[in-house]
Amino acid sequence: MKKHISIIGGSGYSGAELIKILLRHPEVEVTTVFAHSSAGKRVDELYPQFRSRTNLTYEEYAPGKVVNDDLVFIALPSGEAMNYIPALIDAGKRVIDLGGDFRLQDTALYTKYYKHAHSAAKYLSKAVYGLPEWNREQIQSAQLIANPGCYVTSALLPLLPLVKEGLIESTGIVISSLSGASGAGRSSSVELSFTETNENVKAYKVGVHQHTPEIESVLQSFGGAAVAVTFVPHLIPITRGIYSSLFVTPKGNVTNETIDAALKKYYLNAPFIRLLNNAVPEIKHVQQTNYCDIGWKMYERNGQIILHSVIDNLVKGAAGQAVQNMNLMFGFDETTAL
């Protein structure tokens, strides 16, 4: 029997990507998609790519409409999921939140970086961090999944094995990430207009981006060492994709072979991690996929290690990773529909 799924926030880019993936999933059925401003519109009216593929119509959310659902995805901006999750959890629903409300266990950090208070702090302890390659067992039994941030996924996947194995210094980690415009969501703004983004590259939220404490806290949690990172995100004139370059200092006698062994130790059987060794990854090779491509090189001139990773911010960085987590929660093959 198919699992019944609903999506709160189904009209944004991540919500649309969820719909696309779930419509081809043989084990689930999307029963309802909720969207406040688009309520009453057909999904294929807002996104013509769904013509002849679904008859779903966006609806206003009401708790009674998800009573028979096995899982609810929430794809809303930060600060909004916390208004829905307490009631859903209390009703026994399984939930995957694609936003940032339950990624940080420290409410002071949340308030500092997200610029508003957390109103559902007592539910933070129920949240399991949804990075499948590192938290598979907990994800399988979780009721609430905090899906990682897109930038965070691109940074954590190459860094975690090196931190875990004690191969790099825990301070002085520099992460320079470039993202396509879809990472900012579907809402219109002058800064994201074609005229402003075309033929342009722009750093933003330098030193204050909300993904900084998430990167540091997860590296400490799973990597076993307190770290300090410098994270600088950039907007580039493409629609989708994230390119992260990571600059780290080796600890002790580290070689390219040591790095290769560490990455293979953790990812040799990971279905969505592709290790490229000294080859340089490219965004175009992961667009529309759930893959993360990782390349690396140790530079003898200064002894520094430079790693590169690429993901699609809407798939591995959002909806694809969320479905990967759902597959683990329900005991499906991890790669189903991906």
The number of residues making up the chain comes to: 338
Of residues 113, 238, 100, the one with CA closest to residue 179? 238
Q: Which residues make beta-bridge pairs with 203?
A: 234
Provide the Cα torsion 161, 166, 170, 173; round to 10°. Answer: -40
Q: HSE on the CB side for 292, CA within 13 Å?
A: 32
Q: What burial class does residue 278 get, using C-beta atoms within 10 Å of its C-beta: 0-12 exposed, 13-18 middle, 19+ buried?
A: exposed
Q: Which residues make beta-bridge pairs with 296?
A: 307
Whether 292 is catalytic is: no
Q: Which of 150, 248, 298, 311 is catalytic?
A: 150
Q: How far apart, in whole angstroms, are the C-alpha atoms of residue 227 and residue 17?
A: 33
Q: How far apart, in whole angstroms, are the C-alpha atoms of residue 202 and residue 178?
A: 9
Of residues 134, 123, 133, the one with CA closest to residue 101? 123
CA torsion sign, 322 to 151 to 220 to 300? positive
Catalytic site positions? 150
